[in-house]
């Protein structure tokens, strides 16, 4: 199992408050591009994960090993479970089979392999996109809440003072804006989404695409310059349906999740950060969580029997929607950048989940 290997450590993300700080910090996470072919690299596991080319050997991050396995067609769950020596044999054999495939090693400031991408990978450079966003903010006054940067990319979070804030409880203010996420090392393409920022505990949540989003054009025949200009222009026009957001968000303190919703939230958090944190966000001990999950499992099994006359319906639990949402977004502060983004996205999905619940209750 490759978790037993010693990988090159991934630097923790750095959070800054101004664009000038971001311009300085982004350079700390700049990688060098080393084009080569799969046939020119050798991967060895001798306690460390090491990638050697004709010129030198470099330690690998776990992310770079995962990416290499993906390029070779080795599923990550399989790579994690098999013995190290078997993984070594599989990688060596596939490197030989695919030796002509061109790749790029993205090398960090400590000469470690941060990630491995296909040679035709053409992202928005982080520094370039930040400069374009800075220009945009001069035309569209916004309040910059934070920027977090790491080797995997950055997220830039703003709130729009022209949008009325949400106040589900007296004095408990949540402001609305948008978040931009980008990576020039292969984590994800540029995307802009609507963003909620709760002042009381500085928690952020990202709304799902159906509330509005801007994504980079998938057509790579377009020049990066035109593509970037198109992305920023669309971001300027990103709008929020305030009435729809406020309707569900302001009801959350008095809303309780159904057993099916608790199962959905628990499983989502468990996939990202594990069982202990998943129990914590629904505020249940092991027995309490098992009781809900077993009941839902029974209902699903019952409902699959098509001959039954009445389906087992979802039932409300004592799990409060607002408290759960805030525990999820607050927990994101404890984790690396990519997991933090995933948890904040789960918090955003909860809001969409409650919109659907309202539609069902109205019908």
Cβ contacts of 91 within 8 Å, gap of 6 or more: 43, 68, 69, 72, 74
Rounded CA separation 204/314 (Å): 29
Question: In this predicted model, what pLDDT tens digit does every residue of 66-110 receive, in sequence order?
Answer: 999 999 999 999 999 999 999 999 999 999 999 999 999 999 999
Among 93-102, 201-210, 298-307, whose mean pLDDT is lowest? 298-307
- Count other Cβ atoms within 10 Å, centred on residue 190: 23
The pTM assigned to this predicted structure is: 0.91
Rounded CA separation 96/40 (Å): 9
Helix (H, G, I), strand (E, B) or coil at 226: helix
HSE-up (13 A, CA, CB side) for residue 279: 11
- Token pair for 177: 């804006």
Question: In this predicted model, what pLDDT tens digit does every residue of 17-34 receive, in sequence order?
Answer: 999 999 999 999 999 999
Rounded CA separation 310/296 (Å): 16
Q: List the one residue out of 238, 15, 227 whose CA is nearest residue 123.
A: 227
Relative to beta strand 102-107, strand 113-118 is: antiparallel
Cβ contacts of 169 within 8 Å, gap of 6 or more: 253
Q: What is the dihedral of CA 277, 278, 282, 285, to 10 degrees?
A: -80
Question: In this predicted model, what pLDDT tens digit does every residue of 206-264 receive, in sequence order?
Answer: 999 999 999 988 777 788 899 999 999 999 989 999 999 999 999 999 999 999 999 99
């Amino acid at each position: 199992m490759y978790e037993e290997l010693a990988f090159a450590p991934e630097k923790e993300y750095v959070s800054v408050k101004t664009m000038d700080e971001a311009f300085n910090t982004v350079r700390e996470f700049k990688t060098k591009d080393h084009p080569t072919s799969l046939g020119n690299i050798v991967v060895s596991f001798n306690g460390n994960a090491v990638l050697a080319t004709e010129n030198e050997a470099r330690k690998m991050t776990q992310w770079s090993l995962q990416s290499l396995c993906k390029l070779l067609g080795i599923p990550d769950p399989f790579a994690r479970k098999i013995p190290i020596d078997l993984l070594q044999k599989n990688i060596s054999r596939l490197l030989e089979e695919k030796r002509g495939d061109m790749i790029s090693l993205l090398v960090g400031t400590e000469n470690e392999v941060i990630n491995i991408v296909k040679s035709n990978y053409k992202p928005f450079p982080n520094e370039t996109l930040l400069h374009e966003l800075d220009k945009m903010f001069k035309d569209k006054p916004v309040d910059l809440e934070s920027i977090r940067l790491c080797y995997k990319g950055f997220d830039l979070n703003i709130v729009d003072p022209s949008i009325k804030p949400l106040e589900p409880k007296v004095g408990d203010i949540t402001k609305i804006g948008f978040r931009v996420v980008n990576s020039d090392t292969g984590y994800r393409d540029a995307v802009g989404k609507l963003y909620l920022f709760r002042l009381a505990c500085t928690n952020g949540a990202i709304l799902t695409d159906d509330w509005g989003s801007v994504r980079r054009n998938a057509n790579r025949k377009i020049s990066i310059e035109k593509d970037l200009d198109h992305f920023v222009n669309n971001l300027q026009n990103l709008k929020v349906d305030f009435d729809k957001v406020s309707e569900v968000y302001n009801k959350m303190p008095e809303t309780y999740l159904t057993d099916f919703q608790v199962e959905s939230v628990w499983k989502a958090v468990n996939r990202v950060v594990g069982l202990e944190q998943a129990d914590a966000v629904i505020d249940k001990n092991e027995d309490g969580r098992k009781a809900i999950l077993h009941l839902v499992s029974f209902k699903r099994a019952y409902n699959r029997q098509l001959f039954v006359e009445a389906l087992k319906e979802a039932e409300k639990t004592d799990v409060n929607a607002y408290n759960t949402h805030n525990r999820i977004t607050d927990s994101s502060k404890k984790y690396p950048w990519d997991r933090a983004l995933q948890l904040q996205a789960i918090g955003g999905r909860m809001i969409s989940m409650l919109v659907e619940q309202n539609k069902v209750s109205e019908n």
